[in-house]
Amino acid sequence: MTGNDALTQAVVLLRGAGIADPAGDARRLLAHAMGIEAGRLTIHLRDDIDAKAQALFFEAISKRQTRMPVSQIVGGRWFYDRWFRVSKDVLDPRPETEILVKQALCEPFSKLLDLGLGSGCILLTLLAENPLATGIGTDISPLTLSVACENAKALKLEKRSLFMQSNWFSKIEGRFDLIVSNPPYISADEMAELAPEVREHEPKIALTPGGDGLEAYRAITARVMDFLEEGGRLIVEIGPSQGSAVCDMFRAAGLQDIRVLPDLDGRDRVVQGRKPT
C-alpha cells in the first residue's frame, strides 16, 4: 500500500465520521505514522508504507473517527514555533492564545506568573522569548502540572520556571510585573455547542467554571492588586462576548490603561490592564 492509497481510504473514513478537514487530518496522521515531517509527506506519497506504519496510521484514523483531537493522537502541537506535549489533561494550545503572548512581549518583564497554566504554552513561550525572565505557573490539577513540567524540561526551561498546585492566588507569595491567564471561560449554556473534539476530549475543568463563565475573572481581579508590582500588567484571554464584563472587573479592581485586543476574526480575545504607579 502506498501513501496515496492509505490517504484515499482514510479520507473516506474521516469524512464519514463528520470530520471538518478529513484530508488535512489524514495527512498529519500519516506523516506521524511514517515518522516524517508533515511538510515532507508529499514526496513520500508514492512510496510503499511498511506494515508497522500502516497499523499505526489506521489506529490513529480510528481514534480520529471518535473525534479525539489530532494533537492528542500524535501527542503534541506546535505553538509559537515550539512543540508542546499535550494530553487529555490539558487544553489543546490554540492559535488565538498567541495573541496574548505577543501582547505580553510588547513590554519587558522579569517576574512572570501564569494562573491556570495548562500545558505551559504561555508561560514557557514567554520565558523562551525573554531569557532574562523567571516565572511561576499554577494549576489546580497535579496531572496538568506534570505535563507542563515535561514541556519545561523539553524546552530546557526548568531552571527558570517553577510549578505550583494552587487555586489561583491561594499559594502565591510575592509580586510580579506580569500576570497572565487563559482561564476557563465558557458558560454552562455554551458547553453543548462545542465541537465533540473539545466537549468530549478536553478537561471540563479547563473549559468552563459553570454559570456565566466569568467566575475565574472575578477570582483573579479580586486579588490581583496584591500581587502586581506598580506598573505591572494583567493580561487574560477571554471569550468573544466577555470583553465588556471583564473590562468592568479590571476597572473595579483599580487597574488602568485597559485595552481589549481582537483575534484574527475581529472578535474580542484578550484584555490587558495595568496597576497604577
pLDDT digits (tens, 9 = 90+) for 151-163: 999 999 999 999 9
Question: Does residue 235 contact residue 180 with C-beta atoms inside 8 Å?
Answer: yes
pLDDT at 60: 97
pLDDT at 43: 86
Q: Which amino acid is at 124?
A: L
pLDDT at 40: 87
Regions of the chain where pLDDT drops below 70 = none
pLDDT at 91: 93
Instruction: Take residue 133 and report the three cell numbers written for it.
Output: 525572565
CA-CA-CA-CA torsion sign (147, 236, 260, 229): negative
Model's pTM, two decimal places? 0.93
Tell me the pLDDT tens digit for each residue of 100-153.
Answer: 999 999 999 999 999 999 999 999 999 999 999 999 999 999 999 999 999 999
Distances (CA, A) of 171 to 161, 166, 227: 16, 5, 12
Q: Which of 266, 264, 184, 169 is nearest to 221 (CA)?
A: 169
